[in-house]
Amino acid sequence: MIFGLPVISVTIWLPIIFGVLVLATGNDKNAPLARMLALAGGVLGFLVTLPLYTGFDITTSDMQFEEMHSWINRFNIHYHLGVDGISMLFILLNSLFTLIVVLAGWKVIEKRVAQYMAAFLIMSGIVNGVFAALDSVLFYVFWEAMLIPMFIIIGVWGGPNRVYAAMKFFLYTLLGSLLMLVALIYLYNLSGGSFEILDFHDLVIPMQAQILIFIAFFFAFAVKVPMFPVHTWLPDAHVEAPTGGSVVLAAIMLKVGAYGFLRFSLPITPDASHKLAGVMIALSLIAIVYIGLVALKQSDMKKLVAYSSISHMGFVTLGIFIFNTYGVEGALLQMLSHGFVAGALFLCIGVLYDRVHSREISAYGGVANRMPVFAAFFMLFAMANSGLPGTSAFVGEFMVIMGAVKVNFWYAFAAASTLVFGAAYTLWMYKRVIFGAVANHHVAELADITPREKLIFAVLAIFVLGMGVYPLPFGEILHVSVNDLLLHVAHSKLTN
Amino acid sequence: MDIQTLYLLVPLAPLLGAILAGLFGKWLGRKWSHRITIALVGVSLYASVQIFRSVLDGHSFDGPVYTWLTSGGISFHVGFLIDRLTVTMMLVVTSVSLMVHIYTIGYMEEDPGYQRFFSYISLFTFSMLMLVMANNFMQLFFGWEAVGLVSYLLIGFWYTRPTAIYANLKAFLVNRVGDFGFLLGIALVLMVFGSLNYADVFANVASHANDLAPIAGMHVNLITAICILLFIGAMGKSAQFPLHVWLPDSMEGPTPISALIHAATMVTAGIFMVARMSPMFEFSETALSFVMIIGAITALFMGFLGIIQNDIKRVIAYSTLSQLGYMTVALGASAYSAAIFHLMTHAFFKALLFLAAGSVIIAMHHDQDIRNMGGLRKYMPTTWITSLIGSLALIGTPFFSGFYSKDSIIEAVEYSHLPGHTIAYIAVVAGVFVTAFYSFRMYFLVFHGEERFGKAHAPHHPGAHDDRHAKETAHPSADTGQAEHHGLAPGQKPHESRWVVTLPLVLLAIPSVVIGYFAIEPMLFGGYFKDAIYVSAEHGKVLHEMREEFHGALGMAARSLLSLPFLLALAGVAMSWFFYMKRPDIPAAIQKRFQWIYTVLDNKYYFDRFNDWFFAGGARGASLFLAKFGDKFLIDGLLVNGTAGMVGKISGIVRRFQTGYIYHYAFTMITGVFVLLTIRNWFE
Domain coordinates in residue numbering, chain A: 276-496
Identify whether the C-beta of residue B55 lies closer than 8 Å to the C-beta of residue B47. Answer: no
User: Does A383 sit within 8 Å of B622, measured CB to CB?
Assistant: no
Cα separation of B254 and B244, whole Å? 20
User: Does A420 sit within 8 Å of B149, measured CB to CB?
Assistant: no
Identify whether the C-beta of residue B518 lies closer than 8 Å to the C-beta of residue B526. Answer: no
Cβ neighbour number for residue B249 with a 10 Å cutoff = 21
User: Does B183 sit within 8 Å of A437, measured CB to CB?
Assistant: no
pLDDT digits (tens, 9 = 90+) for A389-442: 999 999 999 999 999 999 999 999 999 999 899 999 999 999 999 998 888 888
Cα separation of B141 and B233, whole Å? 10
Backbone φ, ψ for residue B75 (5° rounding): -100, 130
Contacts of A326 in chain B (CB under 8 A): 71-72
The whole-angstrom distance between B117's CA and the closest CA on chain A is 14
Contacts of A399 in chain B (CB under 8 A): 69, 71
Cα separation of A241 and A234, whole Å? 10
User: Does A390 sit within 8 Å of B146, measured CB to CB?
Assistant: yes
Cα separation of B127 and B136, whole Å? 15
Between A325, A408, A428, which is nearest B71 by CB?
A325
**What is the mean predicted confidence (pLDDT) over B186-206?**
91
In this structure, which amino acid lies at residue A331? A
The pLDDT of residue B463: 43
pLDDT band at B552; cut points 50, 70, 90: confident
User: Does B431 score more than 50 pLDDT?
Assistant: yes
Nearest CA-CA partner of A146 in A79, A224, A214, A219: A224
DSSP letter at B147 equals H
Identify whether the C-beta of residue A114 lies closer than 8 Å to the C-beta of residue A102. Answer: no
The pLDDT of residue B479: 40
In this structure, which amino acid lies at residue A191? S
Q: Is A396 helix (H, G, I), strand (E, B) or coil?
A: helix
* DSSP one-letter string for B599-623: HHHHTGGGHHHHIIIIIIIHHHHHH
Nearest CA-CA partner of B408 in B329, B475, B494: B329
Count of residues for chain B? 684
Peptide bond between residue B242 and the one before it cis (omega within 30 degrees of 0): yes
Between B71, B173, B636, which is nearest A326 by CB?
B71
User: Does A409 sit within 8 Å of B184, measured CB to CB?
Assistant: yes
Q: At what angle do helices B336-363 and B401-415 cross, to 10 degrees?
A: 140
Higher pLDDT, B94 or B110: B94
The pLDDT of residue B561: 83
Beta A77-83 vs B74-82: how paired, if at all? unpaired
The whole-angstrom distance between B23's CA and the closest CA on chain A is 10
User: Does B660 score more than 80 pLDDT?
Assistant: no
Asked if A286 reaches chain B (Cβ–Cβ under 8 Å), the answer is no
Nearest CA-CA partner of B125 in B16, B275, B253, B270: B16
Backbone φ, ψ for residue A26 (5° rounding): 80, -140
User: Does B184 sit within 8 Å of A412, measured CB to CB?
Assistant: yes
* DSSP one-letter string for A172-223: HHHHHHHHHHHHHHHHHHHTTS--BHHHHTT----HHHHHHHHHHHHHHHHH
Peptide bond between residue A226 and the one before it cis (omega within 30 degrees of 0): yes
Nearest CA-CA partner of A364 in A379, A352, A377: A352
> A237: burial class by Cβ within 10 Å (0-12, 13-18, 19+)?
buried
pLDDT band at B456; cut points 50, 70, 90: low
* DSSP one-letter string for A285-309: HHIIIIIHHHHHT-SBHHHHHHHHH
Between A293, A419, A423, which is nearest B622 by CB?
A293
Identify whether the C-beta of residue A397 lies closer than 8 Å to the C-beta of residue A292. Answer: no
**What is the mean predicted confidence (pLDDT) over B290-300?**
92
Asked if A325 reaches chain B (Cβ–Cβ under 8 Å), the answer is yes
Residue to substitute from B69, B150, B220, interface A, most A β-carbons within 10 A: B69
Cα separation of B99 and B256, whole Å? 9
The percentage of chain B sitting over the pLDDT mark of 90, rounded to a whole number, equals: 37
Cβ neighbour number for residue B180 with a 10 Å cutoff = 21
* Selected residues 440-469 of chain A with any CB under 8 Å from a CB in chain B: none
Long-range CB contact pairs, B172-175, < 8 A, 24+ = B172/A423, B172/A427, B172/B148, B173/A420, B173/A423, B173/A424, B173/A427, B174/B236, B174/B243, B174/B245, B174/B246, B175/B148, B175/B151, B175/B236, B175/B237, B175/B243, B175/B246
Cα separation of A66 and B105, whole Å? 63
Closest Cα in chain B to A229: B635
User: Does A325 sit within 8 Å of B72, measured CB to CB?
Assistant: yes
Asked if A179 reaches chain B (Cβ–Cβ under 8 Å), the answer is no
Between B67, B176, B190, which is nearest A420 by CB?
B176
Nearest CA-CA partner of A89 in A392, A385, A388, A337: A337
Centroid of chain to Cα B618: 25
Q: Is A391 helix (H, G, I), strand (E, B) or coil?
A: strand
* Dihedral, A57, A60, A61, A67 alpha carbons, nearest 10: -60
Contacts of B627 in chain A (CB under 8 A): 294, 297-298
Cα separation of B436 and B453, whole Å? 25
DSSP letter at A226 equals T
**B83 Ramachandran zone, left/alpha/beta (phi>0; psi -120 to 50):** beta
Model pTM score: 0.90
Between B72, B177, B636, which is nearest A420 by CB?
B177
> B42: burial class by Cβ within 10 Å (0-12, 13-18, 19+)?
middle
In this structure, which amino acid lies at residue A62? D
> B466: burial class by Cβ within 10 Å (0-12, 13-18, 19+)?
buried
**Residues of chain A where predicted confidence (pLDDT) is lower than 70:** 1-3, 496
Identify whether the C-beta of residue A304 lies closer than 8 Å to the C-beta of residue A234. Answer: no
Mean pLDDT of chain B: 86
DSSP letter at B212 equals B
Nearest CA-CA partner of B308 in B184, B461, B162, B205: B461
Nearest CA-CA partner of B361 in B385, B383, B389: B383
Nearby residues of B218 by Cβ (< 8 Å), 6 or more positions away: B225
Closest Cα in chain B to A171: B644
Question: How far is it between the farthest Cα atoms of chain A?
Answer: 71
Strand partners, B69: B76
Cα separation of A58 and A51, whole Å? 14
Contacts of A369 in chain B (CB under 8 A): 160, 477-478
Centroid of chain to Cα B569: 26
User: Does A293 sit within 8 Å of B72, measured CB to CB?
Assistant: no
The whole-angstrom distance between B143's CA and the closest CA on chain A is 8
Identify whether the C-beta of residue A252 lies closer than 8 Å to the C-beta of residue A313. Answer: no
Q: Is A64 helix (H, G, I), strand (E, B) or coil?
A: strand
| Intra-chain end-to-end CA distance of chain B, in Å | 114
Identify whether the C-beta of residue B443 lies closer than 8 Å to the C-beta of residue B391. Answer: yes
Q: Is the dihedral of CA B414, B415, B417, B418 positive or negative?
A: negative
User: Does B214 sit within 8 Å of A419, measured CB to CB?
Assistant: no
pLDDT band at B662; cut points 50, 70, 90: confident
Asked if A410 reaches chain B (Cβ–Cβ under 8 Å), the answer is yes
Between A172, A369, A388, which is nearest B149 by CB?
A388
Cα separation of A350 and A347, whole Å? 5
Cβ neighbour number for residue B216 with a 10 Å cutoff = 9
The pLDDT of residue B464: 43
Nearby residues of B621 by Cβ (< 8 Å), 6 or more positions away: none
| Intra-chain end-to-end CA distance of chain A, in Å | 38
User: Does B632 score more than 80 pLDDT?
Assistant: no
Cα separation of A188 and B213, whole Å? 48
The whole-angstrom distance between A192's CA and the closest CA on chain B is 37
Between A294, A406, A471, which is nearest B191 by CB?
A406
Cα separation of B36 and B43, whole Å? 10
* Interface predicted TM-score of the whole assembly (ipTM), two decimals: 0.91
Contacts of B66 in chain A (CB under 8 A): 470
Identify whether the C-beta of residue B44 lies closer than 8 Å to the C-beta of residue B53. Answer: no
